Structure 1
Amino acid sequence: MGLASLEELQGCATSFWLDDLSRAKISGTDAHSLPSRIATSAVVGVTTNPSIFSSAISNGSEYAQDIEQMKGSSVDDVIEKLTTDDVRAACDLLYPIYKTSKGIDGRVSIEVDPRLAHDTDATIEAGQRLWKLIDRANVMIKVPATIEGLPAITALLAQGISVNVTLIFSIKRYGQVIDAFIKGVKDCDDPSKIHSVASFFISRIDSSIDAKLKENGSPDATKLLGKAAIANAHLAYQLFENKFNSPQWSALASKGAHKQRPLWASTGVKDPSYPDTAYVVELIAPDTVNTMPQSTLDALIDHGVLRGDTITGRYQDAVEVLKGLSALNISLDDVTAELEIDGVKKFAQAWSELQNNVETALKSEQK
């Protein structure tokens, strides 16, 4: 595909972020290193999550010296230092992009402890702590879009902290996220200083819905395979357009407020029978972000074909997909509710695995 097509991706006003981070990627010099991705692959941001950090720290020898120097510290203190050091370094690498894009891109996201997903006050406190500890203008604090997370999102934004709202699966919850964002912007003394993205998860929806369609096995069900996630995202974008073209938003924009952009997350295709770039090329539209794992980025560079804006004005097709699911008694609402619960659980499990691995490393250093 080549760099020209990646420039075309940005020309469509879709920002291109990498869903991966490790110390090896920060300091590396190969094609998969972050400096190389920024220079040659048009990467303008980075997202992380507990699973990414668990894999990086558990498998990376680059962390051994820091762990050795922190023997006697608590496991959580070690994890906090390792993860915030990496995010701070990535923020520094991306700072020139942050400056030239006037804060829109050049962002690095780090999530609050996922065990706090249902504790509003603790989430606010954790978000404030990460913001101060990392001490970089281009960091974004990730907060899960649980019911308890919504007021935390508002509170952090009101304090001038940029937020990446994560684990969004349903249109209904996305609407609540936008409302929480707008309230936070209203309450902020200087809304021009904050930026936010709303991370709408893609592939997990198809994985869940497709299993139900295959179980049904009818011709009508077969026709809908691989369509639910993209349809759901398209209707989320329609809601984004409606909410941010309202008189209410125009009044805030006149005070310097920036739109909360939809960010397409979980864009690695799980079903090998589907095109491996589907969750990129079918989700191009203005004011969006697509964060992708290394394998999807490699596939896009190797053989992805971009067709410009593939969302705007295609909402009726998405409505028909959802009608088709309803006719088969498949509830998208039930699926997305289950996925939120499962998403929080998976991140908490990844955090526990990371704790166990760091604890083991600390004990070995103390011998």
Structure 2
Amino acid sequence: MYRKKLNLKIVCVFVFVLFINIFFVSCKSANTNKGIIVEKWDNFYEGNNIHFYYSDGKSPNPQQLKTKYSLDKLASTGKDDIDKSLKVSNWLNNQLKFSKNSIKTEEDSLTILEKYKKEEGTVSDREFNQIFTEAISSVGIYARIGEFRVNDAQHSKKDDFFKVSEIWSDKYKKWIMIDVVNSCYMSKSGVPLSAIEILNNGINNIEINGVKDKNKYIKKMERYFYSYTIAIDNNIHDGVKSNSYITYVPKGQLPELKTLKGYIKPTIFVNDYSLFTISPKLQYKDSQNDKTSTLMISKKNTEGKEEENPSFYVAAFKDSVMVKEFYISVNGADFGKVNNIFELKLKEGQNSVRLSENGKDAIREVIVNYKK
């Protein structure tokens, strides 16, 4: 009799655990069906007329950083730009402790180095790369911060992005990615790789230089390589020239507007990587060669509370400047004239946006499905 009661209890516990697992799986499945999903993106920028901005490292902040921490002396021990970058990266890792979940700070690099020393707190990959790019630019090497992002970011179980840096190498005449947090770089057949080259080759098919356990590194990092983003304005000390970004998404993939904790910043999407190869030393010339305008869709507040019916700002750009006058059609309606910017309020279900330069012919179309 006792054995029968015991068996009955075991069966009840098993059924209860099974029910809980099914409940959580179904909730998870339901949640992944919600959100803002891009279904069509006939809006990839095909031109090369983008004016990028970079720091030459001569502004007061980078120079103060160099003087206080003798960065010129440190970098001088490196045999080339990559070696110098790794020495600066190693120095930075000795100064600060990394934690992905650290709260981001808007403080300057000198303040961060003083306030968040290893024994006094942690900083995220944002701060690591902010300080690195300032430090390396102070010794004469052009640099920029880049961001890898996971697929289906809005439903990611963990964090959905990872920051890295790229340096311009005169030796290789190309951008080379430096993973500042892990003090490593990647190559193929001995040639250092840019962030875009790493994404396109796949992290399993390249050489990883500077880490002890490559398999552990790959397992940790491989989920991030869905898209890659850089800022148009990479000079934070000489006044804001642009608040927009360029994001590369491989051909056959679709952009994403929603992230895990908010929305993307004003972004131009491309599926050709030529913009990412432009030298920072090349003087910009406005060639006026863009064939058509391109839509730019963004949120006023990229982070914050979820909205019942999200709204986006829709603008158009051409030849590296915003278009002052264009035409928009929403959900098949007639084209309406827009001056500078248009507010799009999403309805539940499909939302289509078409762009026209003459008010008659559609040249771009985006379809977004909003699932509550």
Q: Could you tell me the TM-score, scaled by structure 2's length?
A: 0.28
Q: Could you tell me the TM-score, scaled by structure 1's length?
A: 0.28
More strand by share: 2
- Which has the higher relative contact order, 1 or 2, with Cα contacts under 8 A spaced 6 or more apart? 1
Q: Highest Rg: 1 or 2?
A: 2
More helix by share: 1
